[in-house]
Amino acid sequence: MLTKYQQFFTGRPTVEIAKDLLGKRVCYAGLYGKTGGYIVETEAYLGENDSASHAFNGRRTDYTASLYGMPGDIYLYQIRGRYCFDIVVQDEEEPQGILLRGIEPCEGIDLMKRHRQMTGVNLTNGPAKLVQALGINSRQLDGQPMAGSPLYVDLENFKIPREIITTARIGVNLAGKDGAKPRRFFVAGNPYVSGMHKREMDLEKHGWKD
């Protein structure tokens, strides 16, 4: 039987879970302290039938095995030498995932700055940036359930977006059959969304409801 935590990550469409993650906190209890931030940008990947998915056409390797795990498991992968964090969703053997693309720092911010040697929105406004800022620099946690892991999403303490924007995903093959599908979601106006233009930023409330 699935735990209540696991149930959040299955039983409904992946795009709905991706939108519902906006405003939740991702946290990492690392060796040097705790870091964390509110999720402001996600992308949904719909498994074997999604041309942008690592599991497209049933592709399965030792590297991508974690995608076939339980809902709420961690899928850490490398791209161009940098680490990205996917959350496994849907039932076991149904390899769908949600990529975290941006977070608004809220805990251990000074530590995050040291990890990145960076300040401002560039601290966490991209999938590899946020993983580095949290303090993760290996695939050691790959395949672990977030419940009980030092890397997890806090479902109890969250903010609520005023508006959610939906677009095509970033960095996928647009020539693929699903390349232009609307599967990227972000908090309108949040400065930590990747590629957010300054003129579009809500610098007062960061796109959150009161």
Ordered structural domains, the chain, with CATH: 4-199 (3.10.300.10)
- What is the spatial distance between Cα 66 and Cα 166, in angstroms, rounded to a whole number? 27
Name the token pair of 7. 């149930």
H or E element, residue 117: none
Question: In 3D, which of 51, 79, 54 has the Cα closest to residue 68?
Answer: 54
**Four-point Cα dihedral 100, 101, 107, 113, nearest 10:** 140
Contact 107/30 with Cβ under 8 angstroms? no
Closest listed residue to residue 158, CA positions, set 187, 135, 134: 187
pLDDT at 137: 95
Tokens of 17: 């879970």
Q: Where are the beta strands (DSSP E) in the chain?
A: 24-30, 33-45, 74-79, 82-89, 96-107, 151-158, 164-167, 184-187
Whose CA is closest to 82, among 7, 16, 132, 147?
Answer: 132
Stated pTM of the model:
0.97
The pLDDT value recorded for residue 130 is: 98
Q: What is the pLDDT of residue 123?
A: 98
- Number of Cβ within 10 Å of residue 62's Cβ equals 6
Report residue 158: phi and psi, to 5°: -155, 165
Per-residue pLDDT of the chain (210 residues; tens, 9 = 90+): 899 999 999 999 999 999 999 999 999 999 999 999 999 999 999 999 999 999 898 889 888 999 999 999 999 999 888 999 999 999 999 999 999 999 999 999 999 999 999 999 999 999 999 999 999 999 999 999 999 999 999 999 999 999 999 999 998 988 899 999 999 999 999 999 999 999 999 999 999 998
Residue 152: per-residue pLDDT: 98
